[in-house]
Structure 1
């Protein structure tokens, strides 16, 4: 079987098992760091050996070498910086040589002890340029500057516990476990397939072709850590993978889950994925078109070229001793009722295909998805997770100055919606009574349950920054629509019987009209019935109501 990257599988959990009780006792006396979600994924793959030859977070010399040369300072290929980022305030608590407990943020479980090596401030502009090509819209660059801490801490790790998972535990195989299973099955050649999306018939076809071409078995190895923002949740995807794996010839394929925090780093990420799969025991790796790329920026310019990933992995394939299997796009031939590689089809041959955009549209509208495209079992799972718009939840957030008519409009909308909303319950909430800190959570839970929610903000005016944060949080559960009630301030002041404007409140004095409102109404010049009609028509066009 292929040796791990660097020659040795760095399974720290197994290595440090004999002294685990000593480490637990020591951990009780040490300072702690609670990890971020990304750091938690990175730590798990260091501990189990998925990131071999790494035995800790990168020190400054390794970090610098990785950024510039895609190699560790010891020479091994490594394209992605694996760093423990913290704030300046946190970093000031430690010095080189300190022992620090790294804890799971979910349950405070002690996972490892870090012996602090370097504490250094990275050149993030250089990291952004060299690792991610510098486009400020790249999601990893946004994370680098907007989320990640200013200071990196490097150092070696000793393992105490792996992070605990309570879902799909039978599919969460470590590199050592998979390697043992491959050996027991006498799988001498294994083709690994990376995915972060649901799989359909075309994916099954291309992976089977890859296995047959290489006389190998298949490892379907999807990412269930952090993927691209907006991706389908891992629970839905895993249920799809569990159905797809049944469609392979008996004994050909195995499913296992990878707790990776993707960076969407295109060609560098593809090289990284290859190394990780080598550590898990794969001898071959399917590299797709625009592999691990985040698409295009707001100007429509792709972050990476379509074949950059394949070319980079090919450059290192001999050194890595893992064979690249180029992704061969397949398409459906209706006249022959079969799939075939698109580059092998004669000109003029009738083909059928459904894009990701078209699939999402059909799911949203509840329209037919043909069996040639996907298996009925898969479609059923996707329809359950992504019901058509008319059964999805939404939040209608009404924002305006006091006395602008926001409150009257909210009551009128609730009465109107409940006449024709069918089985959907329309809830009216007063943001002031919920409390600023709880609005996002309450709305998110209601929207997730399929409710239609009208939120009136008549007294506590929020800024555009606050409103944007609420939108971002609620959008994870469903649709968030802002209705900006833009009745002139003079009219609002003339109707001010509660003394809002006399109180010289800062939020009113500095009131900002919502910058990204989907709907704008002026209830001084627009009758309330007309405003209701405008809002109803918008929601109908978006598919939330069917008349």
Structure 2
């Protein structure tokens, strides 16, 4: 696969492409009727996509036990190549015990049953997930999203082996913004970009982010790739549909021809320092020469005692330690803050001692949206604020459902009718009343009150 010599080489020296030719694909499809199938989770689909496309180069499949343990303990594959994050396929115990190591092939399917790839199983084992959590994330606290997945949500057995790819996962949204590493490298070559600084994000971008990325690109004399994660991010994050619409608006704030937006189907682990290195290697495979690493990069927040899982600039420190091996230059940045009397954003280490600094936290932004309050113009752009309001209307414009339950004759209908009238009297929103007795009379008159019939009645109402 061409890698375009003027760009940074892929990690390991070769951009991996795990897709097979048409003849082999037809052969695997014919054989697959005899293969056991594993339905991939959303996280596993993200990992598989980046394995197939070369985003995880030099990996050629899900890690075997030796590579997995080497990565956990030393941030390296058994070949000695730097790699900080375990990439494993977790399956149920029942499924794992039905397989034979080194003799099984598995059809890997998406949620609709479409076969995306075949895994040539080389190893089946049960890992010590607490040890993995402690080594990779530095904690066993389930408040950490990565640990929570390992200990409470993921399956307890791992499969390792090489992959033969039939097709990439299908997406029906923002298709023009989804580029494989090879496609993005070709686009950089077409644009004549040689130095590219990547910006990893999982949040909407505001004025501070534009100032940060603009400064970073100018500092290293590079073009800018806005490369947001649109796979699995931190629970509670703004949905990626809203974020991407905001990114498209933000792109227009940069000088023409200096910035590009591309989406990355990455299942983040929120692994802080290790994840920063991982992000850099992924962007290296996409052709980027630099990565912006800011404050608390890929941090999961605070633990159950209110203490941060990672120090604010711990990711920068670890990145700096391995920077030569990573092959991507770090562009470190302090948090950007708004200095009122200068009417501009500055890195926090450049703020004058007597300056008044303003900030809108994520919590405050959500409160302002929820209450319909103004979002300051110094914080974000008017079109971005408008887009956020479309997805997060104020409370009085949000829909709500109120259920009344109780015994026959308890007053449910009476109270509901009173509430209906009071809502209509107040005004401001449409109101619909569904009375169970009327629904039964007009929609489910043939049904009785058995468990089966009650369930049917509820489904009809839904």
TM-score by length of 1: 0.75
Q: Is residue 177 of structure 1 aligned with residue 183 of structure 2? A: yes
Structure 2 residue corresponding to 1:367, chosen from 342, 366, 373: 373
Aligned: 1:98 with 2:135: no
Q: Is the 8 A contact 1:5 1:279 kept in 2?
A: yes
2:59 is aligned, of 54, 59, 70, to: 54
The CA distance in 1 between the partners of 2:80 and 2:457, in whole Å, is 50
Q: How far off its partner does 1:370 sit? A: 2.5
CA distance in 2, matches of 1:87, 1:157: 19
1:386-397 map, 5 Å: 386-396=392-402
Quote the offset at 1:299 in angstroms: 2.5
For 1:247 and 1:434, locate their aligned partners in 2 and report how far apart those are by CA, in whole Å.
58
Question: Do residues 123 (structure 1) and 128 (structure 2) align?
Answer: yes
User: Equivalent residue of 1:113, what SS?
Assistant: strand
**Which segments of 5 or more consecutive residues in structure 1 lack a partner in the other structure?**
444-547
Task: Describe the SS at the equivalent of 1:112.
Answer: strand
Distance 1:137 1:442, change over 3 A: farther
Match of 1:223 among 224, 229, 239: 229
Q: 2:116 matched to which residue of 1?
A: 111
Relative to 1, partners in 2 of residues 1:414 and 1:340: Cα closer, same or farther, differing over 3 Å? same
**5 Å matches for 1:143-158?**
143-158=149-164
Distance change in 2, residues 1:398/1:318 (3 Å) = farther
User: In the alignment, which of 62, 85, 88 is matched to residue 83 of structure 1?
Assistant: 88
Cα distance 1:199–1:437, how it changes in 2: closer, same or farther (>3 A)? farther
Larger deviation: 400-409 or 308-317? Answer: 400-409
Q: How does 1:272-291 map to 2 (within 5 A)?
A: 272-291=278-297
> Which shows bigger deviation, 390-399 or 324-333?
390-399
| Mapping of residues 18-97 of structure 1, within 5 Å | 19-96=24-101, 97=103
Number of aligned residue pairs: give it: 441
Relative to structure 1, the CA distance from residue 412 to residue 161 in structure 2 (aligned partners, 3 Å threshold; closer, same or farther) is same
Identify if the C-alpha distance between structure 1 residues 433 and 241 changes in structure 2 by more than 3 Å, giving closer, same or farther.
Answer: farther
Cα deviation, residue 328, structure 1: 2.8
1:470 alignment counterpart: none
Partner of 1:381: 387
Q: Quick check: 1:202–1:330 contact (8 Å CA) kept in 2? A: yes
Contact 1:391 1:424 in 2 (8 A): no
Q: Which residue of 2 aligns with 1:139?
A: 145
Q: Does 1:193 align with 2:211?
A: no
Considering only aligned residues, what root-mean-square deviation do their CA atoms show, in Å?
Answer: 2.6
Tell me the secondary structure at the aligned position of residue 100 of structure 1: strand
- 1:492-511 to structure 2, matched below 5 A, reads none
Conservation of the 8 A alpha-carbon contact between 1:410 and 1:428 = no
SS of 2:357 mapped into structure 1: coil
Inter-partner Cα distance in structure 1 for 2:325 and 2:254: 32
Would the aligned equivalents of 1:270 and 1:291 in 2 still touch at CA under 8 Å? yes
Q: Is the 8 A contact 1:50 1:276 kept in 2?
A: yes
Give the deviation of 1:17 after TM superposition.
5.5
How far off is 1:80 after superposition?
1.5
The answer (yes or no) to whether the contact 1:206–1:328 under 8 Å persists in 2 is no
Is the 8 Å Cα contact of residues 135 and 303 (structure 1) preserved in structure 2? no
Name the counterpart of 1:303.
309
Q: CA deviation at 1:27?
A: 2.8
| Whole-angstrom CA distance in 1 between matches of 2:460 and 2:85 | 34
Aligned partner of residue 47 in structure 2, secondary structure: helix
SS in 2 for 1:85: strand
Relative distance call for 1:415 and 1:262 in structure 2 (3 A) is same
Q: Within 2, Cα distance between the matches of 1:160 and 1:394?
A: 45
Question: 1:220–1:425: structure 2 CA closer, same or farther, 3 Å change rule?
Answer: same
Inter-partner Cα distance in structure 2 for 1:226 and 1:35: 14
Give the 3-state SS of the residue equivalent to 2:283 in structure 1: helix
Q: Distance in 2 between matches of 1:65 and 1:18?
A: 36
Cα shift readout 1:246-283 (whole Å, capped 9, x = no counterpart): 11011111100000011111111111111111111111
Q: In the TM superposition, what is the alpha-carbon distance from 1:428 to its structure 2 partner?
A: 4.9
Q: How far has the Cα of 1:297 moved from its partner?
A: 2.4
Cα separation, partners in 2 of 1:91 and 1:410, compared to 1, 3 Å: farther
Q: Secondary structure at the match of 1:8?
A: coil
Higher relative contact order (CA 8 A, sep 6+): 2
Structure 1 window deviating more from structure 2 (168-177 vs 352-361): it is 352-361
CA drift of 1:340 comes to 2.4
Instruction: Give the SS at the match of 2:358.
Output: coil
Question: Measured at CA, do residues 397 and 204 of structure 1 come closer, stay the same or move farther in structure 2, by a change above 3 Å?
Answer: same
Greater CA deviation, 387-396 or 214-223? Answer: 387-396
Q: Distance in 2 between matches of 1:117 and 1:134?
A: 29
After superposition, the C-alpha distances for 1:261-312 in whole angstroms (9 at most, x for unaligned) are 1111111111111111111111111112111111112331212211111111
| Distance (whole Å) between structure 1 residues aligned to residue 82 and residue 59 of structure 2 | 11
Alignment of 1:453-492 (within 5 A): none
* Counterpart mapping for 1:398-417 below 5 A: 413-414=419-420, 416-417=422-423
CA drift at 1:358 = 1.8
Where does structure 2 lack aligned partners over 5 or more consecutive residues?
1-6, 440-450
CA distance in 2 between partners of 1:35 and 1:421 (Å): 47
1:410 is displaced (CA, Å) by 5.4
